[in-house]
Each structure stands twice: as structure tokens, then as C-alpha cells.
């Protein structure tokens, strides 16, 4: 019997490993086919420390909107410095981070339940879903959510370590990285709370060595929060932001759209709300169960992990709807939100698997498989020749990627032909940035031109900034965007 289980486990691990490799290759094709070497929108502000020639600490502390860039911009800066600011390599770094997150998530499932099976293949399907394309391709920014996601599952794995020094001190270092890196600060807050509860528990049970290790972790985490607050300015990034939006029903509609995003295309009316309502019930039920079990047994590191995963996801949803509801409920479908909701689905799945209830476990398996696999069926609507780089993209997602990629390339086409970024902005209807004067685009373009950075690298006249594997369809769409002035 044991030999059979070991064989089944090896087969499952091999299958999941191959699936991870194939999904990563799919991401490489996505970048190679659709990502031109062109900075877009927020990247002109995100890369400000690079324009200034600032060191790693300034990059680490750099604030964009309500969050800091942290470890994300440090690594991105290294990559860009080594590639003449080629954002295509930064996109590959974002995809590689998703691969790391998928591997860590699979390992976490194994450590939490003691088993791994073919049923767990949904984890890489969701973790490596191209539906998260926004912060990888559109406005490449691994610090926003891709890297925080990887750090969250890394922290969860560390928390299960039997070595207290690793658990508390290395865990506290990850807390600091999360606090500073994009929207990982919510997971950083959840981990800080867990450190405090652990220190209190060890104190009550007279475990002084463990208590002091936990206290040291708390001190390190607190120091990180103190430094985070230095020169921090709350910036919601929206001119019409308000702490209380009316009608209040927009909050509910935004959340339902946000939760149902993987199951419905943008623009549909009923399906997103239906799917979101079902998923909202699942999240609420799982969260209550996790909280109840944790309150009954706070000694279990596995219960702590569930709190971390579910807590970070719920905090992200709550803060996102508060900050973005003024854009309307449809804004909840933004692809960048999917990434930091994955820990929430992972928590619900693990809680069901650990409950010991067969029906609950089967329902959870069915739910996560629908959530993860349904978008991949869209590839059947395309000829096999178009599959590389599009597997997992809905038709709406693919159209969106093509829109942004071709408009970026069309903008540079005009700039190279005229030698004027103003002409490119006018021809493409302010596509690359809505406020070029505010972001000092003139100075930045001059800086890049003189140093042959970004789309000025190589030979721009022959289109070196185009996607590596840009096909005739992509180039035809670029020509059409120039004629249409940036319209879809």
C-alpha cells in the first residue's frame, strides 16, 4: 500500500513539474509575442530612481501611489541596468516570479496536508495563469503583486519550519520585505500579528527561549514598519477618492466583480455577479471556519498559515474596493487584482483538505478546478498555430494584450520616424502617458536617447523595440493603430 502511494505521489509530482514547465514556457511566448520594449504609464514614475541614478536604498524606499516598491524595484533595477532598460526582460522576471510562487504553493500544500496528488494541479494552473497579465505585460511592475505573492507563500513555508530561528527571525526578514514591496504590506501586517500571538503564547507557557526569539522577530518587524513610515505620504492615486462612497451597493458589486474575474469576460453583466456571489459565500464560509479553528487551537503552525493566507487576501480585497470603488464596479475586473487573491483560494482549499470531511474536500477540489481551469478553455476558440503564448487567455484578455502591445509599438514607430515624442503623443492620443509634462517626459526621453536606453537601444529604425517574436498580425495591427490614432 505504501509503495503504491509513493508511486502515485511521484507521478503527481512529475506531472505538476511538467505542467509548471509548460505554463512557464507559455509565459515566455506571451512576452516574446506581445511585449515591445516600451515603458508605459506608471513605469515612467516607477523608474524615477533609475533616471536619477539612485542606489538600491532609494529604489527600495521609492513610493508609487499608496505603496513602496521595495525589493521589486531593486531587482527590476538590476535587470534593467544589465539590459539597457529592456522591459521585456523585466516581464520575464515577473513570469519567473510566478513560477517560483507556484512551486512554493505546491510545496506548501504538501507540507500542510502531507500529501500531493494530481488533484493539486490546479495550483500551477492558477498561479501561472496569464490572466494576471497586467503587471507583467501592460505596466510591468513585479513589486505590485507578483513578487508579494511569491513572498507570501515563501513566508507560509518558513512558518512551518521546525527550527525556531528560521521561523521567527528569517520570517521577520520576509515580513520587512513584504511591508515594503507593493501590496504585500497586508501580509506583512498579518505576519506581525502572528509573531505577537506566538510571543504571548510562549510567555504564558514559560518557553523563554522561544519567547525571546519571537520578540526579536517582532522587534525586526516593528523596525521595518518604523522605517516604512519615514517620509511616507498617503497617495490614493485617484482624484475622486473618498473614504465612503455612495451608493454603498457599488462596494458589493465591485467585490463580486473582483472575485468572479477569472470566470467571466469583462463586459458581461450577469455571469460575473453570479460567479462572484457563489465565490463570496465560499470565501466567507472558509474565513469563518479558519478563524474558529485558529481560536480553538492557536498552537498549530498550520492554522497560523491559514490565517496568513486568508487574512492577507481579505485585507487586499477590502483595501482595493475602498481605494478603487469610485472608478465603478467594472474596475474590479482589473487583471492585476487576481494575483493577490490566489492566497485566499489556497487557504480555502487547504482548510477543506484539513477538515477531514470528504464532501467538503470534494466540493473544494471542484470549485478551485473550475476557477483555475475555465479560462484555459478559451484557447479552443483559436487555431493551434496561435496557441503559443495565448493558452489561459480569454478572448477579451488577448484583445487587451494586443491593444496595449500594438499601441506601445505604434507610439515608438511615430517617435522614431519624427524624432518627436510630442508628435507620437499627439498621433496616439496621449497613449503612453496622460500627463507627459507632469512626469517630465521631455527630460526622460532625452536621457534615454543620449544613453541609448529602452526603445532607443540597438537600431530603433529597424524596429529592435518590437516584441522578439512579433508576427505579421502584430505588425499589421501596429500599422492600423498608427492610422487610427491609437483607437482600439
Rounded to 10 deg, the angle between the 342-354 and 358-373 helix axes is 160
pLDDT at 465: 96
Q: How many CB atoms lie within 10 A of CB 163?
A: 10
How buried is residue 427: exposed, middle or buried, by Cβ count under 10 Å (0-12/13-18/19+)?
A: buried
pLDDT per position as a tens digit, 46-90? 999 999 999 999 999 999 989 999 999 999 999 999 999 999 999
- Euclidean distance between CA atoms 47 and 39, whole angstroms: 9
Binning pLDDT at 50, 70 and 90, where does residue 2 land?
low
Pairing type for strands 67-68 and 63-64 reads antiparallel
Domain ranges within the chain, ordered by starting residue: 244-355, 395-484
The predicted structure's pLDDT at residue 331: 86
DSSP label of 384: G
| pLDDT for residue 450 | 95
332 pLDDT band, cuts 50/70/90, is: confident
Instruction: Give the Cα separation of 118 and 110 in Å (integer).
Output: 12
Give the mean pLDDT of 11-17: 94
Mean pLDDT of 34-39: 96
Burial code of 12-39, b = ≥16 C-beta within 10 A, e = fewer?
A: beeebeebbeebbebbbbbbbbbbbbbb
Query: Chain-wide mean pLDDT for the chain?
Result: 91
pLDDT at site 267 = 44
Q: Read off the pLDDT band of 263 (50, 70, 90).
A: confident
d(CA 79, CA 85): 8
Peptide bond into 389 cis (omega under 30): no
Across 392-406, average pLDDT:
93
Closest by alpha carbon to 235, among 42, 433, 435, 73? Answer: 42
Read off the pLDDT of residues 416-432 as tens digits, 9 standing for 90 and up: 999 999 999 998 888 89
The residue behind cell 514598519 is: 225
Residue 266 has pLDDT above 80, yes or no: no
Do 388 and 33 contact (CB within 8 A), yes or no?
Answer: yes
Does the pLDDT at position 264 exceed 90? no
Residue 72's closest CA among 152, 145, 175? Answer: 145
Query: Which of 463, 453, 458 is closest to 408 using CA atoms?
Result: 463
User: Higher pLDDT residue, 157 or 332?
Assistant: 157
User: Which pLDDT score is estimated for 298?
Assistant: 76
Residue 94 has what pLDDT? Answer: 96
pLDDT category at 454 given cuts 50, 70, 90 is very high
pLDDT at 71: 96
**Distance between CA atoms of 246 and 258, rounded to whole angstroms?**
18
The label of the residue with cell 506548501 reads 108
Q: Which residue has the higher pLDDT, 9 or 34?
A: 34
Percent of the chain with pLDDT over 90: 75
As a whole number of angstroms, the distance between CA 81 and CA 373 comes to 37
Mean pLDDT computed over 12-28 = 96
Residue 458, Cβ neighbours under 10 Å: how many? 14
Measure CA 417 to chain center.
Answer: 36
Q: Is the pLDDT of residue 398 over 90?
A: yes
Amino acid at each position: 500500500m505504501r509503495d503504491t502511494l509513493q508511486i502515485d505521489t511521484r507521478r503527481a509530482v512529475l506531472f505538476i513539474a511538467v505542467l509548471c514547465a509548460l505554463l512557464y514556457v507559455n509565459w515566455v511566448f506571451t512576452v516574446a509575442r506581445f511585449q515591445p520594449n516600451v515603458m508605459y504609464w506608471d513605469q515612467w514614475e516607477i523608474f524615477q530612481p533609475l533616471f536619477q541614478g539612485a542606489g538600491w536604498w532609494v529604489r527600495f524606499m521609492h513610493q508609487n501611489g499608496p505603496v513602496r516598491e521595495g525589493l521589486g524595484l531593486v531587482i527590476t533595477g538590476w535587470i534593467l541596468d544589465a539590459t539597457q532598460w529592456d522591459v521585456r526582460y523585466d516581464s520575464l522576471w515577473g513570469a519567473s516570479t510566478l513560477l517560483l510562487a507556484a512551486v512554493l504553493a505546491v510545496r506548501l500544500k504538501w507540507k500542510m496536508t502531507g500529501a500531493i496528488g494530481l488533484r493539486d494541479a490546479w495550483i500551477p494552473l492558477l498561479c501561472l495563469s496569464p490572466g494576471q497579465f497586467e503587471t507583467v505585460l501592460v505596466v510591468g511592475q513585479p513589486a505590485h503583486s507578483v513578487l508579494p505573492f511569491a513572498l507570501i507563500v515563501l513566508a507560509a513555508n518558513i512558518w512551518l519550519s521546525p527550527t525556531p530561528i528560521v521561523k521567527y527571525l528569517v520570517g521577520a526578514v520576509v515580513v520587512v520585505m513584504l511591508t515594503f514591496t507593493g501590496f504585500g504590506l497586508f501580509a506583512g501586517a498579518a505576519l506581525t500579528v502572528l509573531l505577537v500571538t506566538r510571543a504571548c503564547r510562549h510567555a504564558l507557557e514559560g518557553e523563554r527561549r522561544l519567547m525571546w526569539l519571537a520578540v526579536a522577530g517582532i522587534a525586526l518587524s516593528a523596525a521595518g514598519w518604523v522605517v516604512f513610515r519615514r517620509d511616507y505620504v498617503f497617495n490614493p492615486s485617484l482624484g475622486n477618492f473618498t473614504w465612503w462612497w455612495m451608493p454603498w451597493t457599488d462596494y458589493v458589486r465591485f467585490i463580486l466583480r473582483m472575485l468572479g474575474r477569472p470566470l467571466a469576460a469583462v463586459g458581461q453583466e450577469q455571469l460575473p455577479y453570479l460567479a462572484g456571489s457563489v465565490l463570496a459565500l465560499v470565501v466567507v464560509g472558509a474565513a469563518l471556519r479558519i478563524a474558529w479553528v485558529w481560536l480553538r487551537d492557536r498552537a498549530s503552525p498550520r492554522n497560523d498559515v491559514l490565517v496568513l493566507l486568508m487574512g492577507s487576501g481579505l485585507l487586499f480585497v477590502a483595501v482595493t474596493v475602498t481605494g478603487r470603488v469610485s472608478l465603478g464596479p467594472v474596475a474590479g475586473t482589473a487583471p492585476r487584482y487576481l494575483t493577490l487573491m490566489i492566497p485566499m483560494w489556497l487557504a480555502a482549499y487547504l482548510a477543506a483538505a484539513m477538515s477531514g470531511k470528504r464532501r467538503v474536500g470534494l466540493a473544494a477540489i471542484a470549485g478551485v478546478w473550475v476557477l483555475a481551469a475555465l479560462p484555459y478553455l478559451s484557447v479552443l476558440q483559436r487555431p493551434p498555430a496561435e496557441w503559443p503564448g495565448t493558452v489561459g487567455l480569454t478572448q477579451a484578455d488577448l484583445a487587451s494584450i494586443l491593444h496595449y502591445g500594438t499601441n506601445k509599438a505604434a507610439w515608438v514607430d511615430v517617435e522614431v520616424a519624427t524624432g518627436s515624442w510630442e508628435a507620437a503623443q499627439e498621433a496616439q492620443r496621449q497613449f503612453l502617458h496622460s500627463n507627459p509634462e507632469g512626469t517630465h517626459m521631455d527630460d526622460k526621453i532625452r536621457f534615454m536617447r543620449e544613453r541609448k536606453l529602452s526603445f532607443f537601444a540597438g537600431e530603433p529604425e529597424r524596429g529592435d523595440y518590437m516584441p522578439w517574436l512579433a508576427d505579421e498580425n502584430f505588425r499589421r495591427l501596429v500599422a492600423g493603430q498608427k492610422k487610427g490614432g491609437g483607437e482600439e
